[in-house]
Structure 1
Amino acid sequence: MSQAFIADRVRVRAPGKLNVFFEVGGVQDDGYHDVASAYQAVSLYEEVWASHSDDFTVSVSGSIDSTDVPLDDRNLAVRAARLVARTAGYEGGVHLDIVKGVPVAGGMGGGSADAAAALVACDALWGTDLGGQRLQRLAARLGADVPFAMLGGTAIGTGRGDQLSPALAKGRFDWVIVPSSEGLSTPEVYSHLDRMRGASDIRPTSSPDVDPAVLQALRAGDAVALAAALRNDLQTAALSLRPSLRDLLELGESIDSSLGGIVSGSGPTVAFLAEGPEAALELQVTLSAAGYEALHVHGPVSGARILPA
């Protein structure tokens, strides 16, 4: 440890994500699925403020309904803090103040962003100097999306989604997202997908892989081509569990300024791709006029970063 205390309070911001491509393989013996994902970090953020404490505590605030966010050791950010302390041999605690900006249980990795921010914040607060690679390994122990929230940008994820390779993405992609007031359980969506596949005798691929058309569109900064290649294997299950999402997708995709839509991760957040900022604003206004909460975001953006406190 470089020094006992390097700051009284540390502020870290980490982004939410969209899966612009998500192929799901069959369920494995351990209950998990092999996947191939193209992640993009977008400009919807979680902020974590870490301050010294004798114990591990957490509070949650922000513009997002956080009623269902646990305030004990079930909270992924608290688990991240305890993991840093255990790894570094730090004997104190931390209070984490989470300011939420990413929908809860919305398929955009808000909880994973909290965990990534907590890893970075505690390492800085305590001066434990674990380093980026070691923090990434800790992130992988916390969940499949946590390493990407650390990395940010655009990346390809394989295995459980946590084996990351940065992907070249040119320029900026503009999205309009529509969150839902009621989340979806990720395990429930996966289980429902397995049941649907079993009932229809659909055999998932044994080796999930990202479509080369997705990689080409990202490299070219071509929103039209990316829209044509959007895919999420979990979408069918999410739509089955929440039929109202189908109406939203159909409406959004019928609007001229929308290039295409996709359920984000396990849902229920739906994301629509636009050709640029002006088209995104037009799409946002149209969806808002139809009674939906619509947010304009863009990507790719940086991963977990320390900000001035």
Structure 2
Amino acid sequence: MSPGISAASRGRFAARTVRVRAPGKVNVSLNVGPLRPDGYHSVASVYLAVSLYEEVAATSTEEPGITVSINAASTLDLDGVDIPLDERNLAYKAAAIMRDVSEKATGVHLDITKRVPVAGGMGGGSADAAATLLACDALWDSGLSREELAHLAAELGADVPFSLLGGTAVGLGVGDELSPALAKAQMDWVLVCADYGLSTPDVFRTLDMLRNAEGLEAPEPLEVDAKILQALRNGDPDSLSKLLVNDLQRASIELAPGLRDTIGLGEANGALAGIVSGSGPTVALLADSSLAAGELAEELRHLGHNALAVHGPVPGARIISDTLL
């Protein structure tokens, strides 16, 4: 048989790997409304995709089924972190959804390289799911549009559609009703990663408890401050520093009081402002330049913190390689 004939044409299985990276996010603002009948809270948020990426390599397998493996980048310590490798994993769920809508689905192995802190309020699991949707779409030649992928993403969680989209966006509803924002100017941040996680449901429940104890009603209707979008559009970190808001921050600090000290330390060492990212416990410190962010991250590392300089906005999930094995 001619050596030029492919393995597939000879009837043998030809494995293929599609590698996709997807960004984590910072909530530049996060307003939380009342608990909805479906068990979720209404939110109004400004999402910013930042240059800390999850990476998923999806490899077709001759054996049916979905398998998952996890690797940690050198900047992330996963010791003692329990990440499920079965149907509880969001990337596994994403692959299962794609398998159901793809006519050419095979078995698939997902090898996930994690850089975004686990349970850190930056949407790392959502980025894994977004990357998996895009990788499996390419792997199985599903031919779905970005809009169709975004619809599937919304079934997996509120942050998954944004990780597909990337850039800057306003999120309403439970965060999945996205409107892209014209904000391309670079903003520089330092992320201070904790060596523990916080459960997002626990943080929301704690916020409800604090509001109830104080007799406060959740604000409604919710909207995003237009000044935040203007500061992002203009690339004006000084203005933005005065507008950062996160309704979940007080609940995160109630559960992890040390977060208040982390924010204070960052501001004392040159950050324009600090905020808990999403449900935490990652702290996002706004810097006035990439140079300032680099210097701040270095100083915080010197003081014993796991600090990373990042920037945003960056694009959403993207294929970075597609290889026949």
- After TM superposition, the score normalised by the length of structure 2 is 0.91
Cα deviation 1:127-147 (Å, max 9, x = unaligned): 111111110000000000000
The aligned counterpart of 1:47 is: 55
- Counterpart secondary structure, 1:148: helix
Bigger Cα Rg: 2
CA deviation after TM superposition for structure 1 residue 92, in Å: 2.5
The aligned counterpart of 2:18 is: 10
The gaps in structure 2 that reach 5 residues or longer are 1-8
Cα deviation 1:273-298 (Å, max 9, x = unaligned): 00001111121122122211110000
On the 8 A contact 2:104/2:141 being kept in 1, the answer is: no
Question: Are positions 1:214 and 2:225 aligned together?
Answer: no
The aligned counterpart of 1:268 is: 281
| Counterpart residue type for residue 274 of structure 1 | A
Distance 1:121 1:91 in 2: 12
Question: Are positions 1:281 and 2:291 aligned together?
Answer: no
CA deviation after TM superposition for structure 1 residue 69, in Å: 1.1
Deviation larger for 282-291 or 185-194 = 282-291
Distance 2:290 2:34 in 1: 38
- Counterpart secondary structure, 1:24: strand
The gaps in structure 1 that reach 5 residues or longer are none
| Counterpart residue type for residue 260 of structure 2 | R
The partner residue of 1:119 within 133, 144, 148 is: 133
- Give the paired residue count: 306
Moved over 3 A (4+): 4-7
User: In the TM superposition, what are the counterparts of 1:64-75 in structure 2 within 5 Å?
Assistant: 64-66=76-78, 67-75=81-89
- Counterpart secondary structure, 1:44: strand
The aligned counterpart of 2:163 is: 149
Question: Are positions 1:102 and 2:116 aligned together?
Answer: yes
The aligned counterpart of 2:69 is: 59
Distance 1:202 1:140 in 2: 30
- Counterpart secondary structure, 1:229: coil
- After TM superposition, the score normalised by the length of structure 1 is 0.96
Cα deviation 1:227-264 (Å, max 9, x = unaligned): 11000000000000000111111111122x21100000
Question: Are positions 1:294 and 2:268 aligned together?
Answer: no
Identity of aligned residues (%): 56
| Counterpart residue type for residue 306 of structure 1 | I
On the 8 A contact 1:65/1:104 being kept in 2, the answer is: no
